[in-house]
Every structure is written in structure tokens, then in C-alpha cells.
Amino acid sequence: MAPPIALPETFAHAVTGLRSATPRPEITLEEVGAPQRLAPYAFALSAGVHRDGDEVATGRLILLHDPAGHEAWQGTLRLVTYVTADLEADLAADPLLPGVGWTWLTDALEAQEASYRAIGGTVTQTMSTRFGDLAGPPAAGDIEIRASWTPLGGDLTPHLLAWCALLASTAGLPPPGVTALPDRRPAGAA
């Protein structure tokens, strides 16, 4: 049996920060296998966001660590995320959606005081209409946010909380402590 491999202190501390935060109850986190070819050390979490018993958004957060550093990262640690959520067709068609989606990420990082540099990413909005044998519900859309950034400081707890806030925004959850009012329109009313 091989002796356990000692992890670099920077990476071990970063993983501890990601494991220590407790997200809001609608978000479930699970440790999953991380890609092994992107950096010498990697750790990953997946998330599901639930509203009224349905999963409305999913995401993955990957921590990469290269003790030698990486020029493009401007550091030795890198966080990479992928978040996706279904949207109503009218919201998915909004031309301002990509900018709003990006702001969900940057505002969440700022609100949690999660310092970073070298941030980059994409926001993709798609619309789908079903035809033929796949005909069904009306047009549907989704949003996909892919981003990466270099965290500053050793504690990644604020970065995890910011990522959870991004998931909540993408899923359309109200802010913590706010309860959405039920829709009281009669059936069939617009």
C-alpha cells in the first residue's frame, strides 16, 4: 500500500475553505471527481439548486492548483465554474441577459469580499423550439455561465459563498430571508 501523498499546504487550505461553507438550503453540494490534466492538483464540487421540489439550476466549481504558478492565471490557484439554468422563453430572449448574468458573478464576488484577479468567461443564452416527434412545450431557453478567476488570499470560503449566490441568482431564487408571494391569479388568467 502506497503512503498517502502530502498535498501542498496552499491547496489543502483552499480545499478546506471550499468544504467549510454551508450554502442556503435550496442548494446541495457534492464533491465529485476533478479533471486531472488541467493542473497538478484539482478539487471539484457539483451543485444542484432546487425550487418547489424541482432542480432548476446546476453547476460545477473546480479548484486548480499549480505550485509553479501559471502565467495566464497570475497565481498558483484558479477557480473554474460552469453554471446552467432553464429560463422562461421571454427572459432567455432578452438581449441584456448576458450582461446581467456576468454581473451576477462579479456582484456575488464583491458582496462576499472574495478578492480575485484575471477573471474571464462567457455567458451563453439559448432558445429551443421543439418540432415533429419532439413537439411539446412552448419555446424554452437557458443560460450558461462559464468563468474562471484567480482567488487572492488563502481562504476560499468567500469564493464558495459567492458561487452559491451566483447559482441562486441564475436559478431565480429570492434573496435569503425573502419569501416569494404565491401566484394568486385564477387558472387561465394572464
pLDDT in tens, 160-176: 999 999 999 999 998 77
Quick one: average pLDDT of 16-34?
94
* Residue whose C-alpha is closest to residue 84's, from 36, 125, 118: 125
CB contact set of 15 (below 8 Å; sequence gap of 6+): 7, 43, 63
pTM of the model: 0.86
pLDDT score at 89: 80
Quick one: average pLDDT of 140-148?
93
Q: To the nearest whole number, what is the mean pLDDT of the chain?
A: 89
